[in-house]
């Protein structure tokens, strides 16, 4: 959420940012609602003050045998007016709050303008493997090695869900454990294991709602949502709190299954594991002082890269353009891994700085060196999402006969005779 004072003082800048993010929000309407609210608040406060003052004088008038009937009638009228103002103020405040939640975060000045075609390549890493045969894709490898069963998972849940079998299931578990241990032991993150069902307030806090509600799985009876990423649980873990300076930065990591209806993804690539309704992900979240958030962003990018380097995979890093940024992000790096059998780069991580956008929505603050309470900055990044990482692993470490060379770093997590 943006600071309302900032919107008042920089309306054209906010309008331009909304346009650059391809969002539709009526900023002028928000400013008018804000003006209406302030006028109602002013009238309400003045009448309430007058009511309190006169109420104290009535007993004195009665004691002096004065006639109080007129003043009591006036107080009755004022009381009715106060109730009307209170109702109007409540209604206007709710409407203003609802509209403010529709405003996206402002892109940083160094973010490229434009849509996906304007994303800026900033780095490549790892070595692109050269084959002396034509590599096949992960679906062919999965069939040869009996790693996946899409037909039976569809029988259980429909399309867009997976079932790992045998070695596939063991590899998935090994990959998750490897990434968690790597972030904990080498990068200094604290692991949390949190609920995958969260309330509406938590989803609003990190910016999934109201914009993305149609993409979320919801339990209507309880108004609970299956998380689209453990960013929601991790960031909201401290919602409504004032953290001590000594407790910052917080470096948190969590594994969770993630659930997305992908309602707006029709026509996008959905082959195999590329786009699923349920998938696994290891997520990194940082909660930091504002002046440290961009250093933290660069550190988190390296943390995600380290996983790909350890897995021996080729990848590239892009800075996302304004129109490709998420609703809540001020700046995002995407990491795309090379899948040689599929023949393209696949996104496995987005590393984002939200600045104080999520913190304002979740009321997540800290007490600074001067004992002043301020909003923290929050960041998150995939470290990594497993489906496309698995695609790249299978396709990179395949042999001509369809067998696989398991990495030592993963094999050590598999307690089975392979």
Catalytically annotated residues: 260, 275, 347, 350, 388
Residue 381 in contact with residue 301, Cβ under 8 Å? yes
Q: Is 380 exposed, middle or buried (0-12, 13-18, 19+ CB in 10 A)?
A: buried
What is the C-alpha R_g of the chain? 27
Q: What is the CA 397 to chain-centroid distance, rounded?
A: 33
């Amino acid at each position: 959420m943006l600071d309302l004072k900032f919107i008042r003082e920089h309306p054209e800048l906010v309008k331009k940012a909304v346009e650059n993010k391809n969002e539709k929000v009526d900023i002028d309407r928000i400013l008018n609602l804000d003006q209406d609210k302030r006028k109602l608040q002013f009238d309400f406060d003045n009448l309430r003050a007058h009511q309190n003052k006169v109420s104290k004088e009535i007993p004195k008038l009665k004691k002096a045998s004065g006639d109080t009937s007129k003043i009591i009638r006036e107080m009755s009228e004022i009381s009715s007016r106060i109730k009307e103002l209170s109702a109007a103020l409540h209604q206007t405040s709710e409407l203003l709050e609802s509209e403010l939640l529709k405003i996206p975060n402002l892109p940083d000045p160094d973010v490229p303008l434009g849509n996906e075609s304007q994303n800026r390549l900033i780095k490549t890493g790892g070595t692109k493997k050269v084959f002396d045969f034509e590599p096949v894709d992960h679906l062919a490898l999965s069939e040869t090695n009996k790693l996946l069963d899409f037909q039976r998972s569809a029988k259980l849940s429909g399309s867009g869900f997976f079932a790992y079998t045998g070695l596939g299931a063991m590899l998935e578990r090994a990959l998750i454990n490897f990434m968690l241990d790597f972030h904990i032991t080498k990068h200094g993150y604290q692991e949390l294991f949190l609920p995958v069902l969260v309330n509406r307030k938590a989803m609003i806090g990190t910016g999934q709602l109201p914009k993305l509600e149609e993409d979320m799985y919801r339990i209507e009876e309880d108004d609970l949502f299956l998380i689209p990423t453990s960013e929601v649980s991790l960031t909201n873990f401290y919602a409504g709190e004032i953290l001590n300076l000594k407790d910052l930065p917080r470096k948190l990591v969590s594994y969770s299954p993630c659930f997305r209806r992908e309602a707006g993804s029709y026509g996008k690539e959905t082959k195999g594991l590329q786009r699923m309704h349920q998938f696994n992900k290891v997520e990194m979240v940082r909660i930091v002082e504002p002046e440290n958030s961009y250093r933290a962003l660069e550190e988190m990018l390296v943390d995600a890269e380290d996983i790909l380097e350890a897995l021996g995979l080729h990848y590239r890093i892009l800075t996302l353009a304004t129109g490709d940024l998420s609703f809540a992000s001020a700046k995002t790096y995407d990491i795309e891994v090379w899948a040689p059998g599929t023949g393209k780069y696949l996104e496995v991580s987005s590393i984002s700085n939200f600045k104080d956008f999520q913190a304002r929505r979740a009321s997540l603050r800290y007490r600074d060196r001067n004992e002043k309470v301020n909003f923290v900055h929050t960041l998150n990044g995939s470290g990594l999402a497993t489906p496309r990482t698995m695609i790249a692993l299978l396709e990179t470490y395949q042999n001509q006969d369809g067998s696989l060379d398991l990495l030592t770093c993963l094999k050590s997590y598999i307690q089975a005779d392979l």
